[in-house]
Each structure stands twice: as structure tokens, then as C-alpha cells.
Amino acid sequence: MKPNKKTSRRRFLENGAMGAIGVIGASQLLQSCTTGESTAEVVVPNILDTAPDGQPIRAGVVGCGGRGSGAAINFLDAGPKLSIVAIADVFQDRIDGIRGKLKKEKDVEIPDANCFTGFDAYKRLLEVDLDLVILATPPYFRPEHFQACVEARKHVFMEKPVAVDPVGARAVMAASKQAEAAGLCVVTGTQRRHAWSYQNVYARVKAGMIGDITSTNVYWNQNKLWHKEKQPTWTEMEFMLRDWVNWTWLSGDHIVEQHVHNIDVSNWFVGDHPLEAVGMGSRLRRPTGDCYDNFSVDFIYDKSVHMNSMCRQINDCATNVSEYIRGTKGYLLTNNHDVFDLFDYEGNELYKWESPVDADGNKTETSPYVQEHIALINAIRTGNQIVEAEQTAISVLTAIMGRESAYTGKKVTWEDMMGSDLQIGPKGEIKLGPVDMDKTIPVAGSAPE
């Protein structure tokens, strides 16, 4: 919790000091939280502006589309002595794309010998001398790639969601424990957990400012996401991969792929995962793939704490990306990295997060997409291990539980998920060509006689 030299004076006063108090007060805090009696000390962890200096870290990127390239740049922005030295993707044009971007934006050149294509490109990338791997392929591949990275003793930054089905989610939970035992660090793209704003309101909620949490509402309602039209030169597999967010076997559907962010916030604040879910959803306007475009799920945690979750990707409808956390004494509103307010039920504002600004009024807050890499590098260089894979796998499995309930119309429990052999995706080896799988879009229930 020592403030880093590069932490600004202002930030040190704001966060560092609180962090220092926090360490001492942590045990008391836990106690007072469970009793819910009085407001305990507010503990905001020390958030760094940049990663500390240390041993050089050489990274490889697996999955070089938009998020892979973005994550590579975020990684390089996180601190000193960080380099990208190898890249892997199924497609050559993705390799060319990220090379161009890295050259243009960061003057980084990747040698030909360290560029790999194909479905097994990640295996060859792991043979390069690397310290860390960034995994940003469609999530279907994540459990296999993550396992391989852990076995190869690499630190990992991987994008959420970390799996698309229960078998995959459990595989990541186990691999996470392996990473922990092997001393590796893993950060998982749930950047809200690293944002200054969320950290500050979380500390206040944990300190009891709004009492015990009684329910949460989480939303990701937005316009249609992107899609690709099938090109004549593409095989079916290539089309699916390039259009991946629209295919459940590749993305997990949008409740898992996108809305997991908000579900993860609910799990984080409640400090648990739901025990059951009843959900509904449908596909009204999505042009390609087999995903739904709207879900609404009632999740129930222990002690009857409900999470109402809602997500939609349809144009010209009400949009809302936020969380609403309701406690016995007040509530928290968060709104897509913008509004973070705590109120009591008389309407008094208990706390409002103000993003720090410089003399000219510009926000000085580090982007949460960089912040999560700072946390990872800091953990590796200071030895304060951080492994987020299991907690994210739990949130992903929560979202999968909601999805399966909507698909089937049935109540689905956490026990069902932990014992399920559901594995989605094509039969047999994954390769370019036609895709042998059931592409029926699920419809819940049965029609009247």
C-alpha cells in the first residue's frame, strides 16, 4: 500500500492515505459489515497511476481483432519496460492489422517469425520466450487457451467472458486455482472492478453507508451491436468467426458476452453468486447468427436477495447501462462510468464520486482499460499476487445460468450449473469449412395444443 513514486500528490492524499488506514481497519471493517450496525471506515485501495518499474515483461497476443489490438495498446500504456513480442490469430489479415496498428501507434515491430496463424497458433506463440499472454479471441476458445497458458507458466490478461458453457466455466475455475498455486497473476477484463469510480463507491457500500444489500438491478440495454454479412469467399466457419458476437457458441450470447460486466458488479457488491435464476428472452431483430437480442432474468441470491438483470441489443429502444444497488439504509446508482451516487431514502446524497480534474478541468482518471493492466503488472512486479479468473468464471457462469433459463423456460440452479455437462459448439475438430452443429434458435416452453 506504499504510494508509488509516480502517484500524483493529489491522488496520494485522496487514495493512498485511505488505503493505509484501510489495511489496519480491514478486520474491523469485515466485522462491522456483517453486523450491519454502524458505518465502518471507508477503505479505498491504493490505485496506481502507472505500473511500477521492474523486470521487463514480454507479452504475446492471442486473438488480434478489435479487442486484442486494443488490449495490446492498453498493456503498453500501463507502465515502463513492457513489450509486445508475438501475435497469433486464425486469420492473416488480423495479424497484418495489429502489426500496422502497433507500428503506427507505438512504433512496435513484431518480427515475422513471431507471427502465427491458424487455430493452433496459440500453441506456437507459447513457444516464444514470453512472460505474459493476452487472450482476446472469441470466448469459446478461452478455457483451452487459458489452460495452455497456465501449464506454460505464463501470466495472463484475458478478456471476459472466460467461457460460454458450464464445462468451460468450471475448467477456468480449476485452471485459476492452478495459476494461484503456481504463483501466476491473472486479470480478466472486468474493468469495472479496477475503475476509480467503482472502487470508491464499493468502499463506501462495504463500509455500510447504505446498510445491508437487499436487491440489485443491473442493465445493459443498448442499440444493436455489430454484425458481418457472409462473403462469398468465406467458409461457414470463417463467417461465424468474423461475425462471432452473434453466435452463442462463440460469444455465449450477449447476456454472457456483454451483460456479464453488470452481473459481475452485482456479484462483487453482494459478495456471492446467485443460487437460482428464472429468465426470459427472445430474438426479435438480430440480423445474423443464433443469439437472442433481449433477456430479462430474476436471479436469487442467498437470503432472498434478488438481482433483476436486463439486457437488450435492439435499435430505437430505451437504452440504459447501469447498476442500482439497494440497501437497508440507502441506495447506489452507477451509470456507465459517469454517475456514481449514494443516497438515503430521504433523498439526501450520502456521497458522490467526482472524477479528479487537472487545472484546466480535464479529467485525470486513468482509463479503466489501462488501469486493469496496471493492476496486473503491479501484481507481477511486487509479488502481491492477483488471480481474477475464478471470480470472473463465477460471474460468467451466473450469466450462463440466466441464459439457459431463458432458452429453456425452466428455473435453473447453481447446482445444475456446477453439475452440468453442457458444452456448446461444433462437433469434432474446429477447422475452416462447413460447421456441423445444431443451429436452431431455442424457443422456450411449448405451443398450446
Least separation in angstroms between CB 219 and other proteins: 31
Tally of CB atoms within 10 A around 173: 21
Rounded Cα distance between 400 and 260, Å, is 9
176/262 with CB nearer other proteins: 176
136/393 with CB nearer other proteins: 393
List all residues 6 or more positions away from 326 whose beta carbon is below 8 Å from its beta carbon: 210, 213, 214, 215, 216, 217
Rounded Cα distance between 157 and 194, Å, is 14
Residue with cell 490469430: 89
Least separation in angstroms between CB 175 and other proteins: 7
Least separation in angstroms between CB 143 and other proteins: 10
In this structure, what DSSP letter does residue 432 have? S
Rounded Cα distance between 316 and 307, Å, is 26
154/228 with CB nearer other proteins: 154
Closest CA to 15 of 24, 25, 4, 26: 4
173/379 with CB nearer other proteins: 173
Chain Cα centroid distance, residue 117: 26
Least separation in angstroms between CB 411 and other proteins: 18
Q: How far is CA 71 from CA 31, 132, 147, 369, 444, in A?
A: 38, 13, 20, 8, 37
Using CB under 8 A as the criterion, which residues of the chain lie in contact with other proteins when the complex forms?
150-151, 153, 167, 170-171, 173-175, 177-178, 180-182, 418-421
- Whether residue 292 contacts residue 310, with contact meaning beta carbons closer than 8 Å, is answered with no
Least separation in angstroms between CB 180 and other proteins: 8
- Whether residue 259 contacts residue 237, with contact meaning beta carbons closer than 8 Å, is answered with no
Least separation in angstroms between CB 251 and other proteins: 23
Least separation in angstroms between CB 379 and other proteins: 19
93/438 with CB nearer other proteins: 438
62/150 with CB nearer other proteins: 150
178/335 with CB nearer other proteins: 178
Rounded Cα distance between 392 and 176, Å, is 10
169/263 with CB nearer other proteins: 169
Q: Which residues of 313-330 are buried (b: 16+ CB within 10 A; e: fewer)?
A: bbeeeeebbbbbbbbeeb
Least separation in angstroms between CB 171 and other proteins: 7
Closest CA to 218 of 264, 283, 164: 264
